[in-house]
């Protein structure tokens, strides 16, 4: 029996290269090794203001982009969180064993409360409890995520431990798996690449738009003139070269940037070309998938069906242990 892997992505906007390098690439890499469940977490996405008319399109979009990026539905289970009601049922139970103090420490909660001062709702606060329920409902053991989620996975271990101690051993303590690029910075070079900050390149961005975005992206800010030597170690775009460009190109840039033999524009052109080359197959596959809504519905329904069966079993076990039958 393969170990179970669980991960989730919010349908809260365009999937970007930060999601790809930080999480999706790792999901694809591990797909044969684990029994993989990938969840489009719509109940998490509604903790911030959104347009109900947009949500369905975003869910299909998240499914299509991830499949295009390599999540083969023949090899893994892809489903929508709200299609399996047990996620919120188990979250409620976990709410009763999660100290408020632990939730107050969550940096994502603190950041999001600052970003959305007009809507600091209880769902935003208990978000990591629902995330724990997502994973433990299927007894997920490994969770590939970006660095921003590590604190949430730590909390999920604490909740699993607490439940097991109080009611009896049921749950594993999930372990995060980080990629080689756990925190991609945005094009401003200052903040984490994020859907809500608009500082990203989408995974299905057009070649023109990739170039437009890269051409204004922040590089080594100490390099004011073309003749100034640059420092790749502190250049955000050099980091992106490491994931999109060829080994010889990266090695060369690492030298000629420091000697001012190459300017930022030329360097960005190389990155842009490589990014387009890398993302074009994903774009083409996405275009095909997004047109075929019936096939996406079918994939998501098949996924939900499998997950509902597993979820029901876990809830019977949980309720028995808790004396709720
Ligand atoms: P989200 O878009 O918040 O649903 O995130 C989906 C996955 O992408 C999670 O595993 C995140 O940790 C990861 N992720 C999001 N932004 C970044 C980033 N800038 N760098 C690396 N990983 C990221
Ligand atoms: N909170 C995660 C994010 O913002 C998404 C998520 C929800 C998730 N449930 C999960 C990730 C379970 C891993 C496992 O990126």
The enclosing domain of 232 has a CATH number of: 1.10.240.10
Using the atom order of ligand 1, give the atom closest to the CA of residue 148.
12
Catalytic site includes residue 195: yes
On whether residue 59 sits in a domain, the answer given is yes
On whether residue 252 sits in a domain, the answer given is yes
Same domain, 254 and 279: yes
On whether residue 96 sits in a domain, the answer given is yes
Using the atom order of ligand 1, give the atom closest to the CA of residue 144.
10
C-beta 25 within 6 A of ligand 1? no
Same domain, 173 and 308: yes
On whether residue 274 sits in a domain, the answer given is yes
Catalytic site includes residue 190: no
On whether residue 201 sits in a domain, the answer given is no
On whether residue 247 sits in a domain, the answer given is yes
On whether residue 164 sits in a domain, the answer given is yes
Ranges under pLDDT 50 in the chain: none
Same domain, 169 and 256: no
Please tell me the predicted confidence (pLDDT) of residue 199: 96
Same domain, 89 and 141: yes
C-beta 132 within 6 A of ligand 2? no
Same domain, 172 and 56: yes
Same domain, 231 and 96: no
Range of the domain at 162: 4-184+293-322
Same domain, 33 and 158: yes
On whether residue 93 sits in a domain, the answer given is yes
Q: CATH no. for residue 59?
A: 3.40.50.620
Same domain, 243 and 168: no
C-beta 145 within 6 A of ligand 1? yes
Same domain, 222 and 169: no
Same domain, 238 and 139: no
pTM: 0.97
Same domain, 306 and 268: no
- Total number of domains constituting the chain: 2
Contact of 211 with 279, CB cutoff 8 Å:
no
Same domain, 137 and 167: yes
Catalytic site includes residue 192: yes
The pLDDT tens digits for 39-84 are: 999 999 999 999 999 999 999 999 999 999 999 999 999 999 999 9
Please tell me the predicted confidence (pLDDT) of residue 53: 98
- Judged by its nearest atom, the ligand closest to the C-alpha of residue 143 is 2
């Amino acid at each position: 029996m393969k170990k179970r892997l669980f991960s989730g992505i919010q349908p809260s906007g365009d999937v970007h290269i930060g999601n790809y390098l930080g999480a999706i690439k790792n999901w694809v890499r591990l797909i044969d090794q684990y029994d993989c469940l990938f969840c489009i977490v719509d109940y998490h996405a509604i903790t911030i203001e959104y347009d109900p008319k947009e949500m369905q399109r975003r869910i299909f979009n998240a499914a299509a982009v991830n499949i295009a990026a390599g999540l083969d539905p023949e090899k893994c289970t892809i489903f929508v969180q709200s299609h399996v009601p047990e996620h919120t049922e188990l979250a409620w139970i976990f709410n009763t064993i999660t100290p408020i103090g632990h939730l107050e420490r969550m940096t994502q909660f603190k950041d999001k409360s600052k970003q959305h001062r007009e809507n600091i709702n209880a769902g935003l606060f208990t978000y990591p409890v629902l995330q724990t329920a997502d994973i433990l409902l299927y007894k997920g053991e490994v969770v590939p995520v970006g660095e921003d989620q590590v604190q949430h996975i730590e909390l999920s271990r604490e909740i699993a431990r607490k439940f097991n101690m109080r009611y009896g051993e049921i749950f594993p303590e999930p372990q995060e798996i980080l990629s080689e690029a756990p925190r991609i910075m945005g094009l401003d070079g200052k903040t984490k690449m994020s859907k809500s900050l608009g500082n990203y390149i989408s995974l299905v961005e057009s070649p023109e738009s990739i170039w437009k975005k890269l051409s204004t992206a922040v590089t080594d800010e100490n390099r004011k003139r073309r003749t100034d030597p640059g420092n790749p170690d502190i250049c955000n775009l050099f980091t992106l070269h490491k994931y999109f460009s060829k080994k010889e190109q990266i090695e060369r840039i690492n030298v000629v940037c420091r000697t001012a033999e190459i300017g930022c524009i030329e360097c960005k052109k190389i990155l842009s070309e490589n990014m387009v080359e890398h993302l074009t197959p994903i774009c083409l596959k996405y275009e095909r998938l997004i047109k075929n809504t019936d096939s996406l519905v079918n994939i998501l329904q098949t996924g939900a069906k499998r997950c509902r069966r597993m979820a029901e079993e876990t809830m019977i076990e949980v309720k028995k242990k808790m004396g709720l039958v």
